Amino acid sequence: MQKFTTLTGIAAPMPLVNIDTDMIIPKQFLKTIQRSGLGKNLFDEMRYTEGGEEIPDFVLNQPAYRTAEILVAGDNFGCGSSREHAPWALLDFGIRCVISTSFADIFYNNCFKNGILPITLPPETVALLMADARKGANARMTVDLAAQTVTASDGQSFAFEVDPFRKHCLLNGLDDIGLTLEKAASIDAFERKTAAIRPWA
């Protein structure tokens, strides 16, 4: 998993509330078990017409936000079914951080497991960051995980809370497999000991 330390990038404003996982990646794209390739279908039903043409008004289709790495979203982001494809699609598009007033629990947990930092901030702070994101590509935000701050393009800085263990995992690029591999030496030693004691096992 890619490490998350400091991210400076374009933030796309998406003030809709209750954006569910089916809106993030519709059900017809869940057949794959590959984590790559889903970015083109992120927010598919909002980004494209039924004929596959881009909808110009949708934020990620606008030139200023095509390379957005931060999403400033409305309340209750990631609600709905517990599909891990949702963070896969966000990450494959290039989104590394989502800022909202609240997240659905399963989506929130899945973000950390896939290298995305979900940040919860008070409504008034999210409103300020939403307004900053509306300035376009020249207004870049900086997210510093070590310092636990979000800095707007005008220099205003806002502190956020994050679980220390999840912070450690993101800073070091550790998903569940990575955490297990950290114990590889101990696991190997246990296996050798077990093989010597119970060679038939």
Q: What does the pLDDT look like over 145-192, one tens digit per residue?
A: 999 999 999 999 999 999 999 999 999 998 766 665 555 566 666 667
pLDDT band at 127 (very low <50, low <70, confident <90, very high): very high
pLDDT (average), residues 92-100: 98
pLDDT (average), residues 83-112: 97
Q: Identify the residue with better confidence: 199 or 116.
A: 116
CATH 3.20.19.10 fits 6-197, yes or no: yes
Q: Specify the pLDDT at position 45.
A: 95
pLDDT band at 121 (very low <50, low <70, confident <90, very high): very high
Rounded CA separation 11/115 (Å):
17
pLDDT band at 112 (very low <50, low <70, confident <90, very high): very high
- Over residues 62-88, the pLDDT tens digits come to 999 999 999 999 999 999 988 899 999
Closest CA to 69 of 25, 115, 12, 120: 12
- Over residues 13-61, the pLDDT tens digits come to 999 999 999 999 999 988 877 778 899 999 999 999 999 999 999 999 9
Beta strands 140-144 and 117-120, pairing class: unpaired
Q: Cβ distance 101 to 123 under 8 Å?
A: yes
Q: Specify the pLDDT at position 30.
A: 85
